[in-house]
Structure 1
Amino acid sequence: MENLVRPVIVIGGSVLLTLAVGWVTDRLLRKADARDHDSPLWELLRRGRIPYQLVLCAALLRGSYDQAKVLERHQVGIGRALTLVLIGSAAWLVIRIAAAIVETTYSRYARVHRDAARVRRVRTQVELIMRVVSAIVIVVAVASMLLTFPAMRAAGASLLASAGIIAAIAGVAAQSTLSNMFAGLQIAFGDMVRIGDTVVVDGEWGTVEEITLTFLTVRTWDERRITMPVSYFTSKPFENWSRGTPQMTGTVFWQLDHSAPVEAMREKLRDILRECPAWDGRAYGLVVTDSTPNTMEVRALVTAKDADDIWTVRVAVREQMITWLVAEHPYALPRVNHSDAVLPPQRRPSPDGTSLRKEYELPRSGRS
């Protein structure tokens, strides 16, 4: 009877105590979150209640399993399994706590600072830091799990002795991966590109959506995703339209007839921009920038607060100006000048419609 009651008390008591402590902790975090709505810390910490309960339960079972006297022949294996669960859940809990602290710090920073560029820069750095911290915690947890096996501890000395050779071989084999990792850190702390920046890479215009230690994702205007190694941004030139200030200047070109009313077009451009919400009101202008024998090139200059708005302004100006020219000044549209073809002199037609002989003929041989 004792052999049955003892394991029930030990295992059941550990599980019940874990559930009770978890419930009390969750209630306390709920009350703290209700008192402090401005801080997301308590809500983020509540997301770690599962690894927290796993750590608590595994620790209680690992400490009291020897007293249960259950499956004594497999006691070593069960104890090692509980140790592995304890290490894994502890690593999971550490990552959740670190994420909660980092996210809370970023939220407070974003509320205080109104500069969108600085907020995006900090967001990029925070995400990369969290990835580094997660990678370090996972590596340490896996190493700790491996060291629980006696065979791995015995091999530790030989592994340390050959660490230099292994590091050299790994460095050569993973040269591209390591270069991308260092490039990711350089991007994060060098403020070269941030999440949310508008960039042009390989002729594609888009917004930076994700930055990791090894790759970067750009979301294009047509919802495609371009994934490229972060080393691209440290080795090749690219356009960053959000660098410094997001304000932009755009141009619109028309090919028109030389008789186009340029002054009236300036007034129409002003009216179009006044009715366009995307125009920021900083500047506008319309000038003739080039001329050919048949047409002249007219350029309109407009401004907007960011890349999305400058696209909206440009298409609105282009469309409404062409519509106005068609309706009010159709003569200003480009024309193709043509005329009837003139035949060569030796092939001029006669008045009756028959062709005349060539005006110039060579003398016939033998004619006197």
Structure 2
Amino acid sequence: MRLFFISPLLDVLKLKGIPEGISNIIVFLVVIVLVIFVGKILQYILRKIAVQLGKSMDKEHLFESCIKYLNCPLTFLLPFALLYGFVDYLPMSPHVNLIFLKILTFAIIISIAWIIIGLIYIARDEVYFYFHKNDTDNLKERKVTTQIQFISRILVACVVVITICVLLLSFERFRELGTTMLTGVGISGIIIGFAAQKSLGNLLAGFQIAFTQPIRLDDVLVVEGEWGRVEEITLTYVVVNIWDKRRLVLPINYFIEKPFQNWTRTTADLLGTSFLYVDYSVPLEKIRAEFTRLLEQNPIWDKKVNVVHVTDLKEKCMEIRLLMSAKESGPLFQLRCDIREGMIQYIVANYPNALSKTRIEMSKEKIVL
């Protein structure tokens, strides 16, 4: 039994004197084009349905993710699945038919694995949508997104490995080879373990970081003498976005084995200092009043810490520490610069003689010859 149009098409080609082999090829190509066309129509219909559902359910972000991650795999899966159903109707010899079925099976398995990976990414994006990191105090959001990112990478790797195994097991020769090699799995495992212990160590460190979380996405770190934010955490390395837009890439086990500073481990707010070196004659109460005024008019200050201390007395001046606080490390740096600039302008305008100076005392003495 063949599709309704194949026999008439073969008869027409036969009447035109086209050899049977070429006729079969033409019919084969016509069926493939038709299947691809039908698959595209189905894909278009599904896309329109997804867009309409997203608008009606107020879940546009979800259906946008579905279109983003499932559009390409469905482009291949639908035609392959339709062609798999029609392959018995094509004018092919049994041997060619078997080979074509095997190729289609491989293509369908890969497309299904691609769809599963897309579903993993859709779930990840949904978590990112509900636990966004835009808030200032985003400890919970960063904790969840770090774990989800690592888990999604592990799941994708598992899907890829399982897909490769399924493809290999579809070959009889590979199944026999696998059975033969089972006796050497123990020795091979030991050899591979020694050869790849560095990579395995990184992978285990990745698990430890994902769940104990000494660092999270968007954490502020001081590492290798550089200040930056955690931009990406993979299975084997961490990318730190340095303040001047450079990227510092470190192996993931670095954060297990070596010390580093995490400024946002439990909270994002920090204390900052600015130092003034002025003459002993400067009125401290005026300095405190001006410091408070500058803080109150600056929106970066979180209104928690406002302290002025004389922290040291030096030979030529005294050291005044201005202590302040802000919700994040980046704005805190700007606040410190603003306060330092404002205080210097205030002292220059009101107490110019109070700037640090060198004193020389001259006395008249009678010189006896």
* 1:324 is aligned to 2:346: yes
Q: Is this contact kept in 2: 1:257–1:332, CA < 8 A? A: yes
C-alpha distance in 1 between matches for 2:196 and 2:368? 87
Deviation readout 1:318-348 (Å, 9 max, x if unpaired): 11111222222122222234579xxxxxxxx
* 1:228 is aligned to 2:243: no
TM-score (norm 2): 0.85
2:189: which partner in 1?
167
1:43-192 equivalence runs, <5 A: 43-47=64-68, 48-70=70-92, 74-110=96-132, 116-192=138-214
Residue 133 of structure 1, CA deviation: 0.9
Residue 115 of structure 1, CA deviation: 5.7
Q: How many pairs were matched up?
A: 342
C-alpha distance in 2 between matches for 1:62 and 1:275? 72
User: Residue 270 of structure 2: which of 214, 225, 248 is its match?
Assistant: 248
Residue 250 of structure 1, CA deviation: 0.9
Q: Is this contact kept in 1: 2:127–2:145, CA < 8 A? A: no
Q: Which amino acid aligns with 1:37?
A: D
Q: Which amino acid aligns with 1:225?
A: R
Deviation readout 1:16-59 (Å, 9 max, x if unpaired): 33223222222221211111224522221122122123122223
C-alpha distance in 2 between matches for 1:58 and 1:162? 38
Deviation readout 1:98-156 (Å, 9 max, x if unpaired): 21123224423559x99611011111111111111111111111222223333322211
2:41: which partner in 1?
20
2:334: which partner in 1?
312
**3-state SS of 1:242 partner:** coil
Residue 72 of structure 1, CA deviation: 6.5
Q: Aligned pair in 2 of structure 1 residues 260, 99: CA closer, same or farther (>3 Å)?
A: same
1:345: which partner in 2?
none
2:239: which partner in 1?
217
Q: Which amino acid aligns with 2:117?
A: I
Q: Aligned pair in 2 of structure 1 residues 222, 12: CA closer, same or farther (>3 Å)?
A: closer
2:318: which partner in 1?
296
1:360: which partner in 2?
none
Q: Which amino acid aligns with 1:30?
A: V
1:11: which partner in 2?
32
C-alpha distance in 2 between matches for 1:243 and 1:39? 34
**3-state SS of 2:259 partner:** coil
Q: Aligned pair in 2 of structure 1 residues 144, 256: CA closer, same or farther (>3 Å)?
A: same
**3-state SS of 1:162 partner:** helix
Q: Which amino acid aligns with 1:36?
A: M
Where does the alignment leave 5 or more consecutive residues of structure 1 unmatched? 341-348, 352-368
2:50: which partner in 1?
29
2:221: which partner in 1?
199
**3-state SS of 2:214 partner:** coil
- Mark the structure with the bigger radius of gyration: 1
C-alpha distance in 2 between matches for 1:220 and 1:308? 12
Deviation readout 1:180-224 (Å, 9 max, x if unpaired): 111112111113211111111122111111111111111111111
**Pairwise CA RMSD:** 2.6
2:62: which partner in 1?
41
**3-state SS of 1:163 partner:** helix
Q: Which amino acid aligns with 1:20?
A: I
C-alpha distance in 1 between matches for 2:296 and 2:67? 51
C-alpha distance in 2 between matches for 1:70 and 1:194? 58
C-alpha distance in 2 between matches for 1:9 and 1:259? 97
Q: Which amino acid aligns with 2:221?
A: V
C-alpha distance in 2 between matches for 1:178 and 1:39? 40
**3-state SS of 1:246 partner:** coil
Q: Which amino acid aligns with 1:275?
A: Q
Q: Is this contact kept in 2: 1:247–1:305, CA < 8 A? A: yes
- % identical equivalent positions: 32
Q: Is this contact kept in 2: 1:183–1:231, CA < 8 A? A: yes
TM-score (norm 1): 0.85
C-alpha distance in 2 between matches for 1:8 and 1:255? 86
Where does the alignment leave 5 or more consecutive residues of structure 2 unmatched? 1-9, 12-22
Q: Is this contact kept in 1: 2:136–2:327, CA < 8 A? A: no
C-alpha distance in 1 between matches for 2:289 and 2:124? 53
Q: Aligned pair in 2 of structure 1 residues 64, 160: CA closer, same or farther (>3 Å)?
A: farther
1:358: which partner in 2?
none
Q: Aligned pair in 2 of structure 1 residues 263, 146: CA closer, same or farther (>3 Å)?
A: same
